[in-house]
Protein backbone atom coordinates (compact mmCIF):
# COMPACT_ATOMS: atom_id res chain seq x y z
CA UNK A 1 0.00 0.00 0.00
CA UNK A 2 2.34 2.68 -1.28
CA UNK A 3 0.15 5.65 -0.47
CA UNK A 4 -0.32 4.42 3.10
CA UNK A 5 3.11 5.97 3.68
CA UNK A 6 1.22 9.25 4.00
CA UNK A 7 -0.20 7.95 7.25
CA UNK A 8 3.02 8.70 9.05
CA UNK A 9 1.46 12.13 9.49
CA UNK A 10 -2.19 11.77 8.54
CA UNK A 11 -2.71 9.26 11.37
CA UNK A 12 -1.54 11.87 13.86
CA UNK A 13 -3.72 14.63 15.33
CA UNK A 14 -4.11 17.45 12.84
CA UNK A 15 -2.00 20.51 13.59
CA UNK A 16 -2.58 23.66 11.59
CA UNK A 17 0.32 25.82 10.59
CA UNK A 18 0.35 29.59 10.64
CA UNK A 19 3.10 31.73 9.24
CA UNK A 20 3.52 35.47 9.01
CA UNK A 21 5.74 37.80 7.07
CA UNK A 22 8.55 40.10 8.09
CA UNK A 23 8.22 43.21 10.20
CA UNK A 24 10.79 45.78 11.34
CA UNK A 25 14.29 45.27 12.69
CA UNK A 26 12.92 43.35 15.66
CA UNK A 27 9.94 41.03 15.75
CA UNK A 28 7.71 42.06 18.65
CA UNK A 29 4.94 39.58 19.26
CA UNK A 30 1.95 38.98 21.48
CA UNK A 31 0.28 35.59 21.31
CA UNK A 32 -3.01 35.16 23.15
CA UNK A 33 -3.94 31.52 23.48
CA UNK A 34 -7.06 29.70 24.61
CA UNK A 35 -7.21 26.11 25.84
CA UNK A 36 -10.44 25.35 27.68
CA UNK A 37 -9.85 21.62 28.24
CA UNK A 38 -9.70 21.30 32.03
CA UNK A 39 -7.05 18.60 31.75
CA UNK A 40 -4.63 21.31 30.64
CA UNK A 41 -5.36 23.81 33.42
CA UNK A 42 -1.98 24.70 34.95
CA UNK A 43 -0.12 22.99 32.08
CA UNK A 44 3.09 24.39 30.67
CA UNK A 45 2.96 25.81 27.15
CA UNK A 46 6.18 26.06 25.13
CA UNK A 47 7.07 27.90 21.97
CA UNK A 48 9.54 25.69 20.06
CA UNK A 49 11.47 26.68 16.95
CA UNK A 50 10.34 24.33 14.17
CA UNK A 51 13.74 24.48 12.49
CA UNK A 52 15.50 23.62 15.74
CA UNK A 53 13.36 21.50 18.07
CA UNK A 54 15.86 21.96 20.90
CA UNK A 55 15.33 25.72 20.95
CA UNK A 56 12.64 26.93 23.35
CA UNK A 57 11.72 30.46 22.36
CA UNK A 58 9.24 31.19 25.15
CA UNK A 59 7.04 29.53 27.78
CA UNK A 60 3.79 30.19 29.63
CA UNK A 61 1.25 28.47 31.88
CA UNK A 62 -2.43 27.84 31.16
CA UNK A 63 -4.45 29.87 33.68
CA UNK A 64 -8.23 29.90 33.58
CA UNK A 65 -8.10 28.43 30.11
CA UNK A 66 -5.78 31.05 28.63
CA UNK A 67 -2.08 31.77 28.18
CA UNK A 68 -0.01 34.61 26.74
CA UNK A 69 3.40 35.01 25.14
CA UNK A 70 5.04 38.45 24.87
CA UNK A 71 8.52 39.06 23.57
CA UNK A 72 11.00 39.93 20.85
CA UNK A 73 12.86 37.93 18.22
CA UNK A 74 15.49 38.92 15.70
CA UNK A 75 13.16 37.90 12.86
CA UNK A 76 9.93 35.98 12.33
CA UNK A 77 10.15 32.25 12.99
CA UNK A 78 7.89 29.27 12.61
CA UNK A 79 7.13 27.78 16.02
CA UNK A 80 5.27 24.88 17.52
CA UNK A 81 3.00 26.00 20.36
CA UNK A 82 2.86 22.90 22.56
CA UNK A 83 0.81 22.43 25.74
CA UNK A 84 1.95 19.55 27.97
CA UNK A 85 0.28 18.05 31.03
CA UNK A 86 2.04 16.13 33.78
CA UNK A 87 0.54 12.97 32.27
CA UNK A 88 2.26 13.73 28.95
CA UNK A 89 -0.97 14.61 27.16
CA UNK A 90 -0.32 17.31 24.62
CA UNK A 91 -1.89 19.63 22.11
CA UNK A 92 -0.02 21.49 19.40
CA UNK A 93 -0.56 24.26 16.90
CA UNK A 94 2.16 25.62 14.65
CA UNK A 95 2.41 29.35 14.12
CA UNK A 96 4.86 31.85 12.82
CA UNK A 97 5.79 34.38 15.41
CA UNK A 98 5.86 37.86 13.87
CA UNK A 99 5.13 41.48 14.62
CA UNK A 100 1.63 41.89 15.95
CA UNK A 101 -1.00 40.13 18.01
CA UNK A 102 -1.82 36.55 17.14
CA UNK A 103 -4.73 34.50 18.49
CA UNK A 104 -4.10 30.80 19.01
CA UNK A 105 -7.14 28.59 19.56
CA UNK A 106 -5.68 25.32 20.87
CA UNK A 107 -9.14 23.75 21.21
CA UNK A 108 -9.82 24.00 17.49
CA UNK A 109 -6.26 24.15 16.07
CA UNK A 110 -6.74 27.62 14.64
CA UNK A 111 -4.48 30.63 14.39
CA UNK A 112 -5.59 34.11 13.34
CA UNK A 113 -4.88 37.80 13.68
CA UNK A 114 -2.42 38.46 10.85
CA UNK A 115 -2.68 38.29 7.05
CA UNK A 116 -0.16 35.47 6.72
CA UNK A 117 -1.93 33.40 9.36
CA UNK A 118 -5.17 33.82 7.48
CA UNK A 119 -3.47 32.83 4.21
CA UNK A 120 -2.06 29.66 5.67
CA UNK A 121 -5.38 28.75 7.22
CA UNK A 122 -6.77 28.82 3.70
CA UNK A 123 -4.22 26.18 2.70
CA UNK A 124 -5.12 24.06 5.72
CA UNK A 125 -8.83 24.36 5.02
CA UNK A 126 -8.30 23.23 1.42
CA UNK A 127 -7.25 19.77 2.56
CA UNK A 128 -8.81 19.52 6.02
CA UNK A 129 -11.77 17.37 5.06
CA UNK A 130 -9.61 15.03 3.00
CA UNK A 131 -7.22 14.53 5.93
CA UNK A 132 -10.13 13.68 8.22
CA UNK A 133 -11.52 11.18 5.71
CA UNK A 134 -8.11 9.56 5.21
CA UNK A 135 -7.72 9.09 8.97
CA UNK A 136 -11.08 7.32 9.10
CA UNK A 137 -10.15 5.12 6.14
CA UNK A 138 -6.89 4.19 7.84
CA UNK A 139 -8.82 3.05 10.91
CA UNK A 140 -11.07 0.97 8.65
CA UNK A 141 -8.00 -0.53 6.98
CA UNK A 142 -6.50 -1.61 10.30
CA UNK A 143 -9.82 -3.02 11.51
CA UNK A 144 -10.63 -4.93 8.30
CA UNK A 145 -10.85 -8.65 9.18
CA UNK A 146 -9.84 -10.02 5.77
CA UNK A 147 -7.30 -9.28 3.07
CA UNK A 148 -10.10 -8.73 0.57
CA UNK A 149 -11.69 -6.05 2.75
CA UNK A 150 -8.32 -4.38 3.34
CA UNK A 151 -7.75 -4.18 -0.41
CA UNK A 152 -11.18 -2.61 -0.90
CA UNK A 153 -10.40 0.09 1.69
CA UNK A 154 -6.96 0.57 0.18
CA UNK A 155 -8.44 1.26 -3.25
CA UNK A 156 -10.69 3.97 -1.83
CA UNK A 157 -7.84 5.38 0.22
CA UNK A 158 -5.52 5.65 -2.77
CA UNK A 159 -8.14 7.45 -4.86
CA UNK A 160 -8.73 10.00 -2.08
CA UNK A 161 -4.98 10.51 -1.67
CA UNK A 162 -4.68 11.35 -5.37
CA UNK A 163 -7.29 14.11 -5.03
CA UNK A 164 -5.78 15.32 -1.76
CA UNK A 165 -2.28 15.59 -3.23
CA UNK A 166 -3.46 17.53 -6.29
CA UNK A 167 -5.36 20.07 -4.16
CA UNK A 168 -2.48 20.43 -1.72
CA UNK A 169 0.09 21.00 -4.47
CA UNK A 170 -2.08 23.64 -6.13
CA UNK A 171 -2.60 25.48 -2.84
CA UNK A 172 1.09 25.38 -1.95
CA UNK A 173 2.17 26.57 -5.39
CA UNK A 174 -0.18 29.54 -5.05
CA UNK A 175 1.11 30.36 -1.58
CA UNK A 176 4.74 30.18 -2.70
CA UNK A 177 4.22 32.28 -5.82
CA UNK A 178 2.43 34.99 -3.83
CA UNK A 179 4.95 34.99 -0.94
CA UNK A 180 8.25 33.98 -2.50
CA UNK A 181 10.27 36.47 -0.42
CA UNK A 182 8.54 35.80 2.89
CA UNK A 183 8.69 33.14 5.58
CA UNK A 184 5.32 31.87 4.35
CA UNK A 185 6.90 31.34 0.94
CA UNK A 186 9.80 29.42 2.52
CA UNK A 187 7.44 27.16 4.41
CA UNK A 188 5.13 26.70 1.40
CA UNK A 189 8.09 25.79 -0.81
CA UNK A 190 9.31 23.24 1.75
CA UNK A 191 5.89 21.61 1.85
CA UNK A 192 5.60 21.81 -1.94
CA UNK A 193 8.88 19.98 -2.44
CA UNK A 194 7.73 17.23 -0.07
CA UNK A 195 4.38 16.88 -1.81
CA UNK A 196 5.87 16.79 -5.31
CA UNK A 197 8.51 14.34 -4.13
CA UNK A 198 5.78 12.02 -2.88
CA UNK A 199 4.07 11.96 -6.28
CA UNK A 200 7.37 11.74 -8.16
CA UNK A 201 6.94 15.05 -10.00
CA UNK A 202 10.17 16.80 -8.91
CA UNK A 203 13.83 15.88 -8.73
CA UNK A 204 16.68 17.20 -6.61
CA UNK A 205 18.14 18.86 -9.73
CA UNK A 206 14.90 20.77 -10.26
CA UNK A 207 14.82 21.86 -6.63
CA UNK A 208 18.42 23.03 -6.86
CA UNK A 209 17.55 25.05 -9.97
CA UNK A 210 14.69 26.85 -8.21
CA UNK A 211 16.74 27.52 -5.10
CA UNK A 212 19.56 29.03 -7.17
CA UNK A 213 17.44 32.13 -7.82
CA UNK A 214 15.18 32.00 -4.74
CA UNK A 215 15.07 34.63 -2.01
CA UNK A 216 17.47 34.04 0.90
CA UNK A 217 14.61 33.20 3.28
CA UNK A 218 13.62 30.35 0.95
CA UNK A 219 17.12 29.24 0.04
CA UNK A 220 18.23 29.05 3.68
CA UNK A 221 15.17 27.30 5.09
CA UNK A 222 16.77 24.36 6.90
CA UNK A 223 13.81 21.98 6.59
CA UNK A 224 13.98 22.25 2.80
CA UNK A 225 17.68 21.41 2.97
CA UNK A 226 16.89 18.24 4.90
CA UNK A 227 14.22 17.17 2.42
CA UNK A 228 16.58 17.84 -0.48
CA UNK A 229 19.29 15.70 1.15
CA UNK A 230 16.75 12.89 1.47
CA UNK A 231 15.80 13.23 -2.20
CA UNK A 232 19.43 12.95 -3.23
CA UNK A 233 19.83 9.81 -1.12
CA UNK A 234 16.68 8.33 -2.64
CA UNK A 235 18.02 8.98 -6.12
CA UNK A 236 21.35 7.37 -5.20
CA UNK A 237 19.53 4.21 -4.06
CA UNK A 238 16.85 4.05 -6.74
CA UNK A 239 16.14 1.02 -8.93
CA UNK A 240 19.18 0.18 -11.05
CA UNK A 241 21.71 1.58 -8.57
CA UNK A 242 24.10 -0.50 -6.48
CA UNK A 243 22.97 -0.90 -2.88
CA UNK A 244 24.71 1.04 -0.09
CA UNK A 245 26.05 -0.97 2.83
CA UNK A 246 24.77 -0.28 6.34
CA UNK A 247 26.07 -0.73 9.88
CA UNK A 248 23.25 -2.49 11.73
CA UNK A 249 22.42 -4.49 14.85
CA UNK A 250 21.49 -8.17 14.87
CA UNK A 251 19.33 -10.28 17.17
CA UNK A 252 18.27 -9.76 20.77
CA UNK A 253 21.87 -9.13 21.77
CA UNK A 254 22.03 -6.26 19.26
CA UNK A 255 25.37 -7.46 17.91
CA UNK A 256 27.07 -5.14 15.42
CA UNK A 257 26.86 -6.35 11.85
CA UNK A 258 26.85 -5.09 8.28
CA UNK A 259 24.12 -5.56 5.72
CA UNK A 260 26.69 -6.83 3.21
CA UNK A 261 27.55 -9.77 5.48
CA UNK A 262 24.10 -11.18 4.90
CA UNK A 263 23.26 -10.34 1.29
CA UNK A 264 26.35 -10.32 -0.91
CA UNK A 265 25.97 -12.85 -3.72
CA UNK A 266 22.31 -13.49 -2.92
CA UNK A 267 18.92 -12.20 -3.92
CA UNK A 268 17.83 -10.22 -0.87
CA UNK A 269 14.34 -9.09 0.14
CA UNK A 270 14.63 -6.30 2.71
CA UNK A 271 11.64 -5.04 4.68
CA UNK A 272 11.98 -1.73 6.55
CA UNK A 273 9.36 -2.02 9.31
CA UNK A 274 8.33 -0.93 12.81
CA UNK A 275 6.15 -2.55 15.48
CA UNK A 276 3.72 0.40 15.63
CA UNK A 277 3.19 0.58 11.85
CA UNK A 278 -0.17 -0.91 10.81
CA UNK A 279 0.66 -1.29 7.09
CA UNK A 280 3.98 -2.91 8.10
CA UNK A 281 2.18 -5.52 10.17
CA UNK A 282 -0.25 -6.13 7.32
CA UNK A 283 2.67 -7.06 5.03
CA UNK A 284 4.32 -9.42 7.52
CA UNK A 285 2.28 -12.49 6.41
CA UNK A 286 3.43 -11.80 2.83
CA UNK A 287 7.05 -11.56 3.96
CA UNK A 288 6.67 -14.79 5.95
CA UNK A 289 5.33 -16.58 2.88
CA UNK A 290 8.30 -15.40 0.79
CA UNK A 291 10.71 -16.69 3.42
CA UNK A 292 8.94 -20.04 3.48
CA UNK A 293 8.83 -20.43 -0.31
CA UNK A 294 12.20 -19.04 -1.38
CA UNK A 295 14.69 -19.43 1.47
CA UNK A 296 16.00 -22.67 -0.05
CA UNK A 297 16.15 -21.10 -3.52
CA UNK A 298 18.86 -18.56 -2.69
CA UNK A 299 16.69 -15.71 -1.43
CA UNK A 300 17.56 -14.16 1.93
CA UNK A 301 14.70 -12.36 3.65
CA UNK A 302 15.62 -9.62 6.11
CA UNK A 303 13.45 -7.60 8.46
CA UNK A 304 15.08 -4.22 9.09
CA UNK A 305 13.47 -2.61 12.13
CA UNK A 306 13.57 1.20 12.13
CA UNK A 307 12.09 4.11 14.11
CA UNK A 308 11.27 1.70 16.93
CA UNK A 309 12.16 0.59 20.45
CA UNK A 310 14.10 -2.67 20.95
CA UNK A 311 11.57 -4.09 23.40
CA UNK A 312 8.68 -3.38 21.02
CA UNK A 313 10.63 -4.96 18.17
CA UNK A 314 11.32 -8.11 20.18
CA UNK A 315 7.71 -8.48 21.28
CA UNK A 316 6.41 -8.13 17.72
CA UNK A 317 8.94 -10.61 16.36
CA UNK A 318 7.77 -13.12 18.94
CA UNK A 319 4.02 -12.57 18.67
CA UNK A 320 4.02 -12.54 14.87
CA UNK A 321 6.44 -15.47 14.58
CA UNK A 322 8.95 -13.60 12.44
CA UNK A 323 11.49 -16.39 12.06
CA UNK A 324 13.59 -14.83 9.28
CA UNK A 325 16.73 -12.75 9.86
CA UNK A 326 16.02 -9.63 11.89
CA UNK A 327 18.31 -6.60 11.89
CA UNK A 328 17.76 -3.18 13.41
CA UNK A 329 18.87 0.42 13.06
CA UNK A 330 18.46 2.70 16.08
CA UNK A 331 20.20 5.72 14.51
CA UNK A 332 17.95 6.56 11.52
CA UNK A 333 21.01 6.21 9.29
CA UNK A 334 19.41 3.36 7.32
CA UNK A 335 16.28 5.30 6.41
CA UNK A 336 18.29 8.46 5.69
CA UNK A 337 20.71 6.55 3.47
CA UNK A 338 17.90 5.04 1.40
CA UNK A 339 15.71 8.15 1.40
CA UNK A 340 12.89 6.33 3.18
CA UNK A 341 10.04 8.71 4.02
CA UNK A 342 7.50 6.13 5.15
CA UNK A 343 7.24 2.45 5.96
CA UNK A 344 6.91 -0.32 5.08
CA UNK A 345 9.64 0.06 2.49
CA UNK A 346 10.19 -3.32 0.90
CA UNK A 347 13.00 -3.61 -1.64
CA UNK A 348 14.69 -6.37 -3.61
CA UNK A 349 18.43 -6.51 -4.27
CA UNK A 350 19.99 -8.78 -6.89
CA UNK A 351 22.95 -11.14 -6.56
CA UNK A 352 25.26 -8.51 -8.04
CA UNK A 353 24.13 -5.86 -5.54
CA UNK A 354 21.82 -4.00 -7.93
CA UNK A 355 18.60 -2.64 -6.47
CA UNK A 356 15.93 -4.40 -8.53
CA UNK A 357 12.77 -3.00 -6.95
CA UNK A 358 11.51 -0.65 -4.24
CA UNK A 359 8.09 0.09 -2.75
CA UNK A 360 6.95 -3.51 -3.13
CA UNK A 361 3.60 -4.58 -1.69
CA UNK A 362 1.43 -7.69 -1.67
CA UNK A 363 1.55 -9.81 -4.82
CA UNK A 364 4.20 -7.58 -6.36
CA UNK A 365 6.74 -8.95 -3.87
CA UNK A 366 6.64 -12.49 -5.22
CA UNK A 367 6.49 -11.29 -8.82
CA UNK A 368 9.75 -9.39 -8.29
CA UNK A 369 11.41 -12.40 -6.68
CA UNK A 370 10.38 -14.72 -9.51
CA UNK A 371 11.79 -12.27 -12.06
CA UNK A 372 15.07 -11.98 -10.11
CA UNK A 373 15.52 -15.75 -10.01
CA UNK A 374 15.15 -16.26 -13.78
Domain spans of the chain, in order of start: 2-9+124-236, 22-113, 247-372
In sequence order, what E strands does 274-367 have? 299-305, 325-328, 345-349, 355-357
At 114 the pLDDT is 85
The pTM of the full predicted model, rounded to 2 decimals, is 0.80
The whole-angstrom distance between residue 95's C-alpha and the CA centroid of its chain comes to: 19
Q: Spell out the long-range contacts of 287-295 with Cβ–Cβ below 8 A and sequence spacing 24 or more.
A: 287/322, 287/324, 287/346, 287/365, 288/321, 288/322, 288/323, 288/324, 289/366, 290/365, 290/366, 290/369, 291/323, 291/324, 293/366, 294/369, 294/373, 295/324
Q: Furthest-apart CA pair in the chain: how many Å?
A: 70
At 4 the pLDDT is 54
Q: In what order do the strands lie in the sheet with 247-250?
A: 255-258, 247-250, 325-328, 299-305, 267-273, 345-349, 355-357
At 25 the pLDDT is 75
At 3 the pLDDT is 54
Identify the CATH assignment for 22-113 out of 2.60.40.10, 3.40.50.300, 1.10.3720.10, 3.90.1150.10: 2.60.40.10
At 251 the pLDDT is 87
Bridge-based pairing state of the strands 44-49 and 56-61:
antiparallel
At 273 the pLDDT is 98
Cα–Cα distance, 225 to 350 (Å, whole number)? 32
Are the C-beta atoms of residues 344 and 274 closer than 8 Å to each other? no
pLDDT tens for the chain, 374 residues: list them.
445 555 443 433 333 333 333 334 789 999 999 999 999 999 999 999 988 888 999 999 999 999 999 999 998 888 899 999 887 789 999 888 888 999 999 999 999 998 888 888 889 899 999 999 999 998 998 899 988 898 899 899 999 999 999 999 999 999 999 999 988 899 999 999 999 999 999 999 999 999 999 999 999 999 999 999 999 999 999 999 999 999 999 988 899 999 999 999 999 999 999 999 989 999 999 999 999 999 999 999 999 999 999 999 999 999 999 999 999 999 999 999 999 999 999 999 999 999 999 999 999 999 999 999 99
Nearest to 60 by CA among 79, 78, 74, 76: 79
At 8 the pLDDT is 42
CATH code of the domain made up of 247-372: 3.40.30.10
Cα–Cα distance, 166 to 158 (Å, whole number)? 13
Bridge-based pairing state of the strands 299-305 and 325-328:
parallel
Amino acid sequence: MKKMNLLKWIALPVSLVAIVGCGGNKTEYTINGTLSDEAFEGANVFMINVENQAEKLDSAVVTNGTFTFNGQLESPVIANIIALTTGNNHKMVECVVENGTIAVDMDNSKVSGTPQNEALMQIANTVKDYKAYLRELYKEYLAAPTEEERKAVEAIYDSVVTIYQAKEIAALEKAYNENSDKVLGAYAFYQLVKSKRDVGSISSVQVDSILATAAPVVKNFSLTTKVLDGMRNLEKTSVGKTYTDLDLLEGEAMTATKLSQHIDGKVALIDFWASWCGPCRAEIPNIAEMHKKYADKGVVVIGLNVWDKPEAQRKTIETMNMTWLQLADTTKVATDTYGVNGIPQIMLIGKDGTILARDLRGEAIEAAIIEALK
